[in-house]
């Protein structure tokens, strides 16, 4: 499948993996709807991608935790771009790293609302469009954290496990509609992820990626591009990708 003149909606495109996927899709002539809360960052990206690749990009300031906000954002998409071909459910975060008995309730709420409810809200609005045109693709960015819990990862791991189950459920419910679903589980990718997890503590965040070579956003974007460009009869359902030095969430070969 060629991405030329297709439309992809990428959530969380202001940084990291989402920004890399939006950029990769634009390189392949895909029109874009990109969303995030930091609208200045997506506006900048939009200008850059339009100038470089001549694609149409619209930006939507959106906090995916609030359904009303998501619905208003969705309704603002111009009709000619509403026929979304690819939905990349990427926006997400980890907040804090603590035992469940010491967990911060606000951190829990933020992860559950963003990673699970936000993903469901936007999917609920986009999927009927795909079903109506008997084609489309959803790429859910879950995590290796969704495959097995790791120490102090508790609620983040649970939200990503939920994303994995939602991906499975989508593939079942959408069977026969022509809409494809892919779940991607990355291991460690160097983005703003750890900075967000540690509430802006850059020293702690940098330590996460020290003494080994982590993945970068472009590595995940390459995979998303491969998934999105398979012929219509091919559905890649599930991918796990880690740095070569990472075997499981916790087994990392640091030199
Ligand atoms: P990142 O650099 O921090 O980017 C996260 C993106 O999500 C940002 O664009 C952020 O935009 C957006 N976002 C967060 N909360 C949001 C909200 N309430 N409403 C709308 N957008 C929101 O992190 P990343 O590593 O690229 O993470 C992308 C996805 O990959 C996440 O789902 C994460 O769980 C997953 N993942 C990451 C890793 C890793 O090691 N980095 C590994 C496995 C899975 P704004 O702040 O501008 O709103």
**Using CA positions, which residue lies closest to atom 31 of ligand 1?**
92
- Global pTM reads 0.98
251 within some domain: no
Burial 155-188 (b: 16+ CB within 10 A, else e): bbbbbbbbbbebbeebbeebeeeebbbbbbbbbb
Task: Answer yes or no: is 254 within a domain.
Answer: no
In a domain, 247, yes or no: no
What tokens does 37 get? 């809360």
Domain containing 161 — which CATH number?
3.40.50.720
Domain count, the chain: 1
Give the closest residue (by CA) to ligand 1 atom 10: 12
Q: Are 164 and 175 in contact (CB under 8 A)?
A: no
- As a whole number of angstroms, the distance between CA 225 and CA 235 comes to 13
Establish if 18 belongs to a structural domain.
yes
Q: Give the ligand 1 atom nearest the CA of 92.
A: 32
Which ligand 1 atom sits nearest the alpha carbon of residue 94?
A: 34
Q: Is 204 a catalytic residue?
A: no
Confirm whether 249 is domain-assigned. Answer: no
CA gap 98, 104 in Å, rounded = 8
Query: pLDDT 10s per residue in the chain (255 long)?
Result: 899 999 999 999 999 999 999 999 999 999 999 999 999 999 999 999 999 999 999 999 999 999 999 999 999 999 999 999 999 999 999 999 999 999 999 999 999 999 999 999 999 999 999 999 999 999 999 999 999 999 999 999 999 999 999 999 999 999 999 999 999 999 999 999 999 999 999 999 999 999 999 999 999 999 999 999 999 999 999 999 999 999 999 999 999
Placement of tokens 């991906």 in the chain:
167
Task: Say if ligand 1 is within 6 A of residue 15 CB.
Answer: yes
- Which domain range does residue 95 map to? 7-241
């Amino acid at each position: 499948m060629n991405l030329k003149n297709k439309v992809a909606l990428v959530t969380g495109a202001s940084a990291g993996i989402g920004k890399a996927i939006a950029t990769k899709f634009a390189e392949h002539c895909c029109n874009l709807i990109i969303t995030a809360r930091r609208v200045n960052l997506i506006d900048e990206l939009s200008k850059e991608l339009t100038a470089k690749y001549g694609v149409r990009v619209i930006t939507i300031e959106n906090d995916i935790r609030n359904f009303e906000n998501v619905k208003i954002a969705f309704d603002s998409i111009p009709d000619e771009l509403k026929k979304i071909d690819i939905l990349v459910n990427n926006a997400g975060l980890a907040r804090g790293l603590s035992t469940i008995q010491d967990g911060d309730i606000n951190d829990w709420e933020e992860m559950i609302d963003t990673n699970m409810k936000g993903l469901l809200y936007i999917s609920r609005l986009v999927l009927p469009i795909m079903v109506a045109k008997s084609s489309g693709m959803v790429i859910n960015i879950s995590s290796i954290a969704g495959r097995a819990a790791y120490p102090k990862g508790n609620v983040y791991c649970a939200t990503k496990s939920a994303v994995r189950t939602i991906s499975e459920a989508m593939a079942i419910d959408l069977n026969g509609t022509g809409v494809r679903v892919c779940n991607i589980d990355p291991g460690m990718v160097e983005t703003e992820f750890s900075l967000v997890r540690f509430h802006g503590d850059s020293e702690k965040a940098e330590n996460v990626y020290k003494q080994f070579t982590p993945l970068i956003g472009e590595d995940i974007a390459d995979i998303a591009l491969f998934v999105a460009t398979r012929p219509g009869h091919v559905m890649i359902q599930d991918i796990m990708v880690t740095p070569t030095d990472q075997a499981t969430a916790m087994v990392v070969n640091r030199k």
